[in-house]
A = this chain, B = another copy of it.
Amino acid sequence: MSATMKAAMFVEPGRMAVEEVPKARIEADTDAVVRVVRACVCGSDLWYFRGLSDHPHHAQIGHESIGVVEEVGSAVASVKPGDFVVLPFPYSCGACPVCKAGFESVCPHGGYFGASQAEYVRVPEADGTVVVVPGSPEDYDDATLASLLTIADVMSTGYHAAVSAEVKPGDTAVVMGDGAVGLCGVLSAHMLGASRIIAMSRHEDRAAVAREFGATDIVAERDQAAIDKVLEMTGGYGADAVLECVGSKQSFDTAIGLIRRGGVIGRVGLPHDVEISAQGTFYGNIGIKGGPAPVRHYDLESGLLDAVLKHEINPGRVFTGEYDLDHIQDAYEAMDQRKVIKSLIRF
């Protein structure tokens, strides 16, 4: 009889379950298996939960976790059992030109985790994927563990929005989206030196975190009213940088409308039915950059891990609800109903 583990299952839209499934195991000599200490629910999981995007029914789900290495394949050299690691949502070879250019999230030899809301996770390409944290989980308090969990995805994704938008010291930056990614985008724009950060939000709990993360202004308006408001706030010229953390056509059109000519839209929201007018953006010299965040690059090369460990940033604040795995349905429902900003899963 093979070993089993508890795992969250996406049963169908609106319905999650917890089941015993075969325990994650080494399948290739470059794999590791990690015992999960914290996982969480992503805004992109909600697209499935809400039935807006397809996901196989009765299948595992989740792509954000931190934990302790339990076992490694024979070819794994950089981590060993007992190591505490952050698992970036993409896995990557770490050695090809795409990875070396700092874009591990789109490594052609990699992919994305899809079964991280579980007691154990199989990590392909372990050497090119994991981010090692000094010590063990017991050395850290809950708040730090929560912040470490954000650099598996949401904080690194917000940072990618800010870097892609080319936020510079003194800039006015607008952040579209007040979900956890957008809030981390606010924090990232602050880290990169933006002097004015306009967060688009109409939820007081989220606006409060945005302010805590460095937002100087909150704009509740949408569409043309939001564009008019930001133009009014910027002397008619628009914002130097826009962090697009939603992915809808509505959000993208608003971003185009309120960015300063010559500015760059950093986009990290999964695009849904968005088409970009090549002509419209051309005549404004408007740049568009972004995609899935190269988490590992930002954690290690851009210092997000250090910033968390030194308590310079506290992105774990985006978790406003905590659940154990058995209450996974509650974790999803709370996010779906906007009762919490983001749900953390304790193990």
Residues of A within 8 A of B (CB): 96-98, 101-103, 105-108, 164, 234-237, 240, 252, 260-264, 267, 270-271, 274-279, 281-292, 294
Contacts and interface: CB of A to CB of B under 8 A. Distances in A.
Given A235-B97, A290-B287, A282 B267 contact: yes
Chain A: interface secondary structure? mixed
Contact of A284 (B237, B276, B281, B291): B291
A127 to B, nearest CB: 19
A261 B164 contact: no
A298 B233 CA distance: 29
Contact of A237 (B98, B235, B260, B261): B98
A101 B263 CA distance: 9
Query: Oligomeric state, in number of copies?
Result: 2
Nearest to A264: B289
Contact of A106 (B96, B278, B285): B285
B108 A261 contact: yes
Contacts of A292: 282-283, 285
Nearest to A98: B261
A281 B291 contact: yes
A275 B277 contact: yes
Contacts of A263: 101
Nearest to A172: B97
